[in-house]
Amino acid sequence: MFAQYFKLTVISLFLVILSYILWIPASNLLSSYPEPKIVSSILDAWQRESNNIIIASSFSQNSSTISSPSSLFQEVRGNDTVTVLEGPTLIDGTGDPPKQNAVIIIRGNKIVAVTNQTDYYDKYNSLLNNETARANIFNLTGKYVIPGLFDMHAHVAGVRKNSYNQDFSENALKMLLDYGVTTIRSPAGPTNQSIALKHNVSEGIIEGPEVFTAGRLLNSPQIVIPFVEKQISTEEQAREEVRLQAAAGVDYVKLYVGLPPNLVQAAIDEAHIQGIEVIGHLYMTSWTDAANIGIDALTHGVPVNPSLLPSGDKREQFLENGGGPFDHFLWLDLVDLNSTEINEMINALVENDVPVDPTLSIYEAILRENRQGFSNLQDQLRWAKVLELTEIMYNKGVQILSGSDIPNFGLIPGASLHNELELLTEAGIKPLEVIEIATNNGAEALGIDNRVGTIQSEKQADMIILTLNPIENISNTKEIEAVIVDGRLTDIDTQG
Q: Digits of tens for pLDDT over the chain (496 positions)? A: 444 444 444 444 444 444 443 343 343 444 444 445 444 445 555 544 433 333 222 222 333 333 333 443 344 344 457 888 989 999 999 999 999 999 999 999 999 999 876 676 666 655 555 554 567 888 999 999 999 999 999 999 999 998 899 999 999 999 999 999 999 999 999 999 999 999 999 999 999 999 999 999 999 999 989 999 999 999 999 999 999 999 999 999 999 999 999 999 999 999 999 999 999 999 999 999 999 999 999 999 999 999 999 988 999 999 999 889 999 999 999 999 999 999 999 999 999 999 999 999 999 999 987 667 888 999 999 999 999 999 999 999 999 999 999 999 999 999 999 999 999 999 999 999 999 999 999 999 999 999 999 999 999 999 999 999 999 999 999 999 999 999 998 865 534 3
Q: How far apart are CA 402 and CA 153, in angstroms?
A: 8
Q: How far apart are CA 186 and CA 192, in angstroms?
A: 13
Extract long-range pairs of 98-101: CB within 8 Å, 24+ residues apart: 98/144, 98/432, 98/471, 99/59, 99/60, 99/61, 99/63, 100/59, 100/60, 100/61, 101/57, 101/58, 101/59, 101/60, 101/141
Q: How far apart are CA 151 and CA 154, in angstroms?
A: 6
The single-letter code of the amino acid at 409 is F
Q: How far apart are CA 214 and CA 257, in angstroms?
A: 16
Q: How far apart are CA 351 and CA 106, in angstroms?
A: 38
Q: How far apart are CA 128 and CA 78, in angstroms?
A: 10
Evaluated on CA atoms 267, 268, 272, 277, the torsion sign reads: positive
Give yes or no for a contact between 379 and 367, defined as CB atoms under 8 angstroms apart.
Answer: yes
Q: How far apart are CA 433 and CA 355, in angstroms?
A: 15
Q: Is this structure's pTM higher than 0.95?
A: no
**Measured CA angle at 362 (ends 168, 196), to 5 deg:** 30
The single-letter code of the amino acid at 264 is V
Q: How far apart are CA 455 and CA 53, in angstroms?
A: 23
**Measured CA angle at 362 (ends 359, 363), to 5 deg:** 95
Q: Where are the alpha helices (DSSP H) in 209-279?
A: 235-248, 261-273
Burial class (CB in 10 A: 0-12, 13-18, 19+), 384: middle
Q: Of 261, 311, 256, nearest to 286 (Cα)?
A: 261
